[in-house]
Structure 1
Amino acid sequence: MGRGPLLITGFGPFPGMPENPSARLARRLAALPRLGLALGRPPRRLVLRTAYAAIPGALAPALAEAPGAVLMFGVAGRARRMRVETRGTNRASRLFPDASGTISARLAVDPNGPPERRSPAAALALAALRRYGIPAARSRDAGRYLCNASYYRALAEPCPVLFVHIPPEPRTRRPRRGRIGPGPERTLRALAEVAVLLMRQGRSRG
């Protein structure tokens, strides 16, 4: 079981998304003083290139350092609320290239892996977000792209792992009439609670 700090990940830009909000969220959450105090040490933050090579090149080495838990973020272009992903599947798409222009060499993320890997932390995280009034939904489909591939890889580790898809930032910051959602500070507080719950779950396993 990992005894290291919490690992928070996000993704860098990709075609059509020149500024990835998941990277910004990962940085802000990792720098949150109250989270470091609650955990007893600052989290580690990792922004992954949106490329398949980033999984063995950056994610795998970070996982090899045995983090206490892993909280991952990605952006879902059509989402209107946070999506708490319950599983990563052993499937990849050969239709869409990554940001470097590379297409997955095979249809399976890991030819020797199981069909799917599930996250027991998803239910607790979803409940925590809803307690803070954060619009969130349970999702069983993390896609066939880098989000799913990285989640599937991370779920092979013995520590708690969770992936949360966030919606893209609106083109205008003016809220829509009648649809004023929670502010960024409340969202950060909710995600900080999710992070603490992940670490507690990891310690209870140990």
Structure 2
Amino acid sequence: MSPTASSEAPVLLITGFGPFPGMPRNPSAALARRLERSSRLRLALGRALRVRVLDTTYDAVGTQLVPALAEAPAAVLMLGVASRAKRIRVEARACNRASRFYPDASGRPSASLTLDPAEPAARHAVVAPQALAILRRHGLAVVGSRDAGRYLCNASYFRALAEPCPVLFVHIPPVSSAKRPRDAVRPRRGRLDPAAQAQALTEVALFLCVRGRAAARTR
């Protein structure tokens, strides 16, 4: 089943992140752009697909993410890089917390340890188990996670999960530029292969759209 495009509001919002200290090239941005070029998503959604590469700053949550969410997408797929991860991580929740030890791309840390004192301690993604199963069917090295960190990925996810639509955050491993020895063990299929990741995430995106359109009809 494929979602039908809407001329009034985006069916799907996909976000990635730009560079930040220690990550001069953020692979989540490249992956988001790859999904934007997906012929399957273009055929299903047309102009109802929105892709936004967010600045990796706390200000961007309010100035870039919130306006994108204000367009009322039917579903949101968020991508980020986990610098120490060796597998894809499907994040099941975001917490109302931050760290003051890690400055953002502008050099500023979070203003407080709590993202919003008026909001709950955590928000959960009900679509995470199904998305995890889809990625596993594609043979990717993937694991479920309940800790999206205390940086911009978690902060943006926490904000997006407040929306009345399916929202999912997927962390991908960094792409290593180091050459492996010839006798090194190959990583599991698709772990660092952007094409394989994009193919699997396209299916996840379409699943989110179907769920989002169904939920919208009941509201």
CA deviation vs aligned residue, 1:86-141 (integer Å, no higher than 9, x gap): 00100011121111011111111111100000001101100000011011100000
Secondary structure (helix, strand or coil) at the match of 1:84 reads strand
Cα pair 2:122 2:158 within 8 Å, conserved:
yes
Distance 1:162 1:120, change over 3 A: same
For 1:116, the equivalent position in structure 2 comes to: 122
Paired residues in the alignment total: 205
Could you tell me how far 1:48 is from its partner in structure 2?
Answer: 0.5
For 1:32, the equivalent position in structure 2 comes to: 38
Equivalent of 2:93 in 84, 87, 95: 87
For 1:64, the equivalent position in structure 2 comes to: 70
For 1:188, the equivalent position in structure 2 comes to: 198
Could you tell me how far 1:173 is from its partner in structure 2?
Answer: 5.9
Normalising by structure 1, we get a TM-score of: 0.94
Cα pair 1:9 1:48 within 8 Å, conserved:
yes
Distance 1:12 1:151, change over 3 A: same
Q: Distance in 2 between matches of 1:154 and 1:60?
A: 8
Equivalent of 1:17 in 17, 23, 34: 23
Cα pair 2:88 2:171 within 8 Å, conserved:
yes
* RMSD across aligned positions (CA): 1.7
Could you tell me how far 1:57 is from its partner in structure 2?
Answer: 0.4
For 1:127, the equivalent position in structure 2 comes to: 133
Unaligned 5+ segments in structure 1 are none
For 2:156, the equivalent position in structure 1 comes to: 150
Q: Distance in 1 between matches of 2:66 and 2:127?
A: 21
What amino acid maps onto 1:191 in structure 2?
A: L
For 1:202, the equivalent position in structure 2 comes to: 212
For 1:47, the equivalent position in structure 2 comes to: 53
For 1:166, the equivalent position in structure 2 comes to: 172
For 1:179, the equivalent position in structure 2 comes to: 187
Normalising by structure 2, we get a TM-score of: 0.89
Could you tell me how far 1:40 is from its partner in structure 2?
Answer: 5.2
Cα pair 2:10 2:48 within 8 Å, conserved:
no
Could you tell me how far 1:31 is from its partner in structure 2?
Answer: 1.4
Distance 1:34 1:117, change over 3 A: same
Equivalent of 1:101 in 101, 107, 126: 107
